[in-house]
Amino acid sequence: MSYLFTSESVSEGHPDKVADQISDALLDEFLAFDPDSKVAIETLVTTGQVVLAGEVKSETYVDVQETARRVINEIGYTKAAYRFDGDSCGVLTAIHEQSPDINRGVDRANKMEQGAGDQGMMFGYACKETDDYMPLPLELSHRILMELADVRREGKVMTYLRPDSKSQVTIEYNDDNSPKRVDTIVVSTQHDEFDADEPMLAKIKADVISILMPRVIEKLPERVKALFGDDIIYHVNPTGKFVIGGPHGDTGLTGRKIIVDTYGGRGAHGGGAFSGKDPSKVDRSAAYAARHIAKNLVAAGVADEILVQLAYAIGVAKPVGIFVNTFGTANVKLDDGQIAQEVKELFDLRPAAIEAQLKLRNPIYRETAAYGHMGRTPRTAVKVFESPYFGRVEKKVELFTWEKLDYVDQVKECFGL
């Protein structure tokens, strides 16, 4: 029997994502001037206020207030009417030195033997629903909000848009787990108050259906376009009004959108957030490594759907456990335990090895902090950082390295594909 599955996304202007972007922008600043920085920064945003807290061990100094204000302005919170804007908000800082008890478990004389920055389990997932091996409901939810942000920045149509927004997509699946049709789309977008409530809501809903969605659909592969019929249920700003939003409408915290950041509820999540953490924290780096493994295995044809779990003990380099679940979709004559054993031999999963393989000790994290850490397109970028204390640094970096299909040939050779 067919069934429904739903995933959501939130925009860069959502208060939790504002917090994530500030935390990751600060991480990038530290790594740009000191790649060995150990960073764990949490951000809270609310009406007219930003609070920064956490632990840092670094040889550089970052103007955290300037960085936070710049990020807020770049997102689009630039007007006093929003009750939260980059130029006038307060910024309180409570950042202190990393605990030496944690640091002694991480740093080693032989860098490749550095211990994991914490205990825990991390998951990676991949499937064949989309070209980037991501679940379709989440992929569409992200695309809707990325396009909505483009419309807002262009300022030609839907000129009433404000930065905060959310989306949700429900897909009907066949009983063989293949997508059958798009069932329901939810879009809630913050907006100016430009009319009486009823005509204002009607205008926004009509624009979402006639302006936003055609732009989204046009960029999709043909097989996904075919899932959009005339019977889609749309819920647009279902409360009827969304003028008060952003950090004024709802307090935002770093790490509160971990399902949006990963797989939209498909697969699994170990519970650790990503943003604001340097790659010695396996909550982040091992989750990227697990995604890299799962994506390359599926792309190589080992299975049509794969979940990978990695588990670590703080201060210990090698993972304490590697688990693989192919959900009965394996295309090789090995059980899941045997596949996990091959993964253990093929991938070096010590934290320092992950950092080196995926080039994680670079300022690459601001770009991850909105619209998902997984399923993004790997690319090279030149990023410029300026400090009144350490001058100007220009770095050529690779973004989203964990999305590269650079192990497919090795996987095929390993599994005889």
Please choose, from the candidates 112, 402, 162, the residue with its C-alpha nearest in 3D space to the C-alpha of residue 280.
Answer: 112
394 annotated as belonging to a binding site for a ligand: no
The answer to the question of whether 55 is labelled as a binding residue is yes
242 is in an annotated binding site: yes
318 is in an annotated binding site: no
Instruction: Count Cβ neighbours within 10 Å for each residue of 266-284 and write b for 16 or more, e otherwise.
Output: bbbbbebbbbbbbbbbbbb
H/E segment holding residue 51: strand 49-57
- On whether 269 is known to bind a ligand per the annotation, the reply is no
Residue 395, marked binder: no
Backbone angles phi, psi at 386, to 5 degrees: -125, 135
Dist. CA 292–CA 112, nearest whole Å: 20
Please, what is the end-to-end C-alpha distance for the chain in angstroms?
A: 33
| 241 is known to lie in a ligand binding site | yes
Residue 273 counted as an annotated binding residue = yes
**277 among the known binding-site residues?**
yes
Choose among 381, 53, 2: nearest CA to 179: 2
Q: Is residue 14 a known part of a binding site?
A: yes
- For residue 123, count CB atoms less than 10 angstroms from its CB and return exposed for 0-12, middle for 13-18, buried for 19 or more: buried
Rg (CA), the chain: 22
User: Does 167 belong to an annotated binding site?
Assistant: no
Q: State yes or no: 164 annotated in a binding site.
A: yes
Question: Cβ–Cβ contacts within 10 Å for residue 398, how many?
Answer: 14
257 assigned to a ligand binding site: yes
Query: CB count, 10 Å around CB of 169?
Result: 26
Structure token pair of residue 243 = 């003028």
Residue 166 annotated as part of some ligand binding site: yes
79 annotated binding-site participant: no
Residue list, annotated binding site for ATP: 14, 164-166, 241-242, 250, 256-257, 273, 277
Residue list, annotated binding site for L-methionine: 55, 98, 250, 281
Residue list, annotated binding site: 14, 16, 42, 55, 98, 164-166, 241-242, 250, 256-257, 273, 277, 281
Residue list, annotated binding site for K(+): 42
Residue list, annotated binding site for Mg(2+): 16
